[in-house]
Chain A
Amino acid sequence: MLIKLEDIRRYYTVGTEVVHALNGVSFEVSRGEWVAIIGQSGSGKSTLMNVIGCLDTPTAGRYWLNGKDVSNMSDNELADIRNREIGFIFQTFQLLPRDTALGNVELPLIYRGLRAKERRERARHALDQVGLSNRVTHRPNELSGGQRQRVAIARALVTEPSLLLADEPTGNLDSATGLEIIGLFEQLHRQGHTICLVTHEPTLAARCPRAIRISDGLIVKDGPGPQVALENRTERARAAAT
């Protein structure tokens, strides 16, 4: 098992009110799986993504990532786990505007303490993997939205993480570019990467082999992507046709 969550709860205090963002979530993801986490805004899926990504720690429950219990780790340990085990891909790309594509992809390797030469080699290779070997010295504002997301994917891949964690990766892209990016994810899935994709779009989740639906901080459905993501037969038929 790559990911194992056991009765994960996350409560926030907003003013005097306690918000129950996650109410006891348990599931497992095997190595090489491609799982969509689907839910409407406010369902708790963002909180779940933050917990899986080790950006946030659960109030209660246990979480094992790649065999390590990360639910009670210190801030420094979590930083190292994020660096080694997780490749983030965000809706808004989250690139450093003043760095080149190469500089952005290099960044996690700097925090790993690699030497400049090795960093650059690996970053070039990662950009090559996403088809951007001719955009190495471009800055984010010189790139299209799709190219920016490819840089972000290269940055996620460069550390050879055990999990790719994507948060609405097509949310800021037009549909054609979005499909390209999904194609890239399919390719990465075939290469054996484990992918967690958080989205509110049923059509996107339907493309994943497995989907988990979250509502009010609980898992309400877990199964093959099309069945979980699409509510009725006609939607499923339409999705299958495309």
Chain B
Amino acid sequence: MSLRVDLLEGGRIALRTLGVNRLRTLLTLTAVGIGVATLLAIVGIIQGLNGAFARQLASLGTASLNISRRPYVMTGDWWRYRNRKQLTIAQMQGLLQQSQLATAVVPEVNEDGRELTVGDESVSGVDLIGTLADFQKVWGYEVPVGRFLTDADSDAERQVAVLGSEVAERLFPGRSALGESVRLDNRPYRVIGVLGKKGQILGQSMDLLVLIPFKTFLAVYGKRDFQIDVAVDDADQLDKLEDEVVGIMRRLRSVPPGSADDFSVNRTEQLADTYRQLTSALYGVAVGVGLITLLVGGIGIMNIMLVSVRERTREIGIRRALGARRRTIVVQFLFEASLISAVGGAIGTALGLGVAKVVSLVTSLAAAVQPLTVLGGILFAATVGLIFGIWPAARAARLDPVEALRYE
């Protein structure tokens, strides 16, 4: 008898049997369903996260480098970086003069976790940055309200500030911040502009910041350890720019030939790499949990199939006596196991999509499930059924027809 007939008959019997033990079938496929749902929800959340991160990273302005004493991502002995010499204004000016590729060179000095107040309103956890006019060009900020900082603001050490959009919204809800006075570390600053919205990266707002003129920052905070941002026209030229910048900086900082750089050149891509490194382990664990759930479901299938084989011993005997080959019996039971699993997989897929949707609505994580994942979920479940059905099916086929016919 042909395999085609085996499959057709196997499918027909499988469909019929599903209807017979409804409750048992339902419970079994629920187990598989939960496994698939877990896996799919996790994959959906991961896919959503990755997508959101890529989009946000792109909004950061990728055609720029950051020169700092420390790399974005520190590995190994952190104190090595602490002992490096600070960057100087002279080095920044040298870079500006000597670089052929740089379209903007701008200093940046930071203080984290500041608090801004206006009357009773206050916003904390604000990132304070002291910088110059070209900062806008390097990071691609829009200034829909007012104007950006100028180098003149810095030279005159003016007490002016440009607010991030979230800071402006929270301090001046429903009204314009322009020309108003905000207090920062007990000093008043006049608001001269508000930045356009950038959104979030990894759940962290990119709009919770305040910019003040570079020299104002130095005068108020007495901090000299700054970073230099360098922009280029085209992201494709970043490698060339990096080579050039490293050469110039080594000369300006008198690094002897053969010694390692005593500064770090950072790119936003490094953040992406770090993000991937950090999250891949997490994803591995999450997917592992999903797989274990599916394994439990698979064992459930195996159990139910073993019970089914035992219950239907006589049926197997009858079929064998009437001319069914061993293979026919194997196909019949494998079909049944796969079908239960696939139905469970379909239910689980719907459930998983629902969970992913709820997660994306309730949290700031944008969960997204690609269509291929849905198909994959069902096929994967069917495969799990197939694999866990092998042993019961083999047991069914091994039965001796004479013994099977006599089974009570």
| Chain A contacts to B: CB under 8 angstroms | 50, 53, 55-56, 75-76, 79-80, 82-84, 88, 90, 94-96, 98, 107-108, 110-113, 155
Contacts and interface: CB of A to CB of B under 8 A. Distances in A.
Nearest to A46: B402
A82 B317 CA distance: 12
Contacts of B402: 50, 55-56
B314 A79 contact: no
Interface stretch (B47-55, B81-89, B322-330): B322-330
Contact of B321 (A75, A84, A94): A94
B372 interface: no
Given A55-B401, A94-B405, A110-B5, A83 B322 contact: yes
Interface residues of B, number: 23
Interface in B1-28: 1-2, 5, 9, 16, 20
Interface string B29-64: 000000000000000000000000000000000000
A82 B20 CA distance: 29
A51 to B, nearest CB: 10
Given A50-B402, A79-B320, A94 B314 contact: yes
Contacts of B405: 55, 90, 94
B315 interface: yes
A83 B323 contact: yes
Interface of A is mostly: helix
A112 B1 CA distance: 6
A20 B38 CA distance: 59
Contact of A55 (B315, B321, B324): B321
Contacts, number: 63
Contacts of B20: 98
B318 A84 contact: no
Interface in B389-403: 401-402
Interface string B298-342: 000000000000000011011111111111100000000000000
Contacts of A88: 321-322
Contact of A79 (B2, B9, B16, B325): B325
A53 B320 CA distance: 12
B335 to A, nearest CB: 14
B1 A111 contact: yes
A56 B406 CA distance: 14
A34 B318 CA distance: 24
B321 A76 contact: no
Given A82-B321, A90-B405, A111-B319, 19 more contacts: A55-B401, A79-B324, A79-B326, A80-B323, A82-B322, A83-B322, A84-B323, A88-B321, A94-B314, A94-B317, A95-B318, A96-B318, A98-B20, A108-B323, A110-B9, A111-B1, A111-B322, A112-B323, A155-B322
A75 B324 contact: no
A79 B323 contact: yes
B318 A113 contact: no
Name the residue among B322, B325, B326 with the largest chain A CB count within 10 angstroms.
B322
Contacts of B9: 110-111
A84 B325 CA distance: 13
A227 to B, nearest CB: 31
